[in-house]
Amino acid sequence: MPVIYLSPSTQEFNAYINGGTEEYYMNLVADAMEPYLRSSGIGFVRNTPEMTAASSIVQSNAGAFDLHVSLHSNAAPESLSGQLTGTEVYYNPQNMESLRAAEIISQNLKNVYYNPDRVRTLAASELGEVLQTRAPGVLIEYAYHDNETDAAFIKDNIESLARATVIALTEYFGIPFVEAMEPKEGVVSITADFLNIRQFPSIYADSLARAYNGDPITILGQWEDWYVVDYNGVIGYVMTIYVMPVE
């Protein structure tokens, strides 16, 4: 199953025109993403507010991630302060997977941003979290925090931005989007020798691990007749008929 490096802004000095900071609100978006990521079977490692962009890159590059996702809000140059609006998703022009991820994210954010024509996909020229990461990198500027309308949009749409971003990630990885739910414990209930934990919700998908009758298993989400499960740290899919939730 895919694993991302999730990197909300660490720029506590970037103030919103209507109060608060970029670091604060981007961490709220990341907080809201986590339940959707977990239920959809996307693993993640996340930076902390004490880190910097540079240390986030180092931590990301020390791991084996499938995508590096950086969350930000924007500010116009001083001469245009407060005048610009829009969502911008940056990609590495030397990496086709970075471009593909950025285009999918942009398309999904058009469903949330109040002016879809102002949602753009742009090649990065200087952004380290796009150009210096070992994993394909994308950096999302959700809106302009020095603009009254855009800053209010971010504050009023934390959940919608998080949900749309995770929908885009599931599309990028080719897995179903699963609505967020609280993880619950279950027990494997089979008569066969073992239960395959599969990479995708299909009986033809590769097996990631084998579980046995009576084994405890954590249910993270449900898509149609399949559970997204965590079995001893292995995230995958099993058919719902083979797992009994523990009340």
Buried b (16+ CB within 10 A) or exposed e, 182-194: eeeebebebeeee
For residue 33, which of 187, 166, 195 has the smallest C-alpha distance?
Answer: 166
At 213 the pLDDT is: 97
Bridge partners, 123 (sequence order):
91
In order of their start, the domains of the chain are: 3-173 (3.40.630.40), 184-245 (2.30.30.40)
Question: What pLDDT sits at residue 193?
Answer: 94
* Low-confidence residues of the chain: pLDDT under 70: none
Alpha-carbon span 207 to 101, nearest angstrom:
26
- Comparing C-alpha atoms, which of 205, 196, 241, 204 is closest to residue 222? 241
Q: What is the pLDDT of residue 247?
A: 77
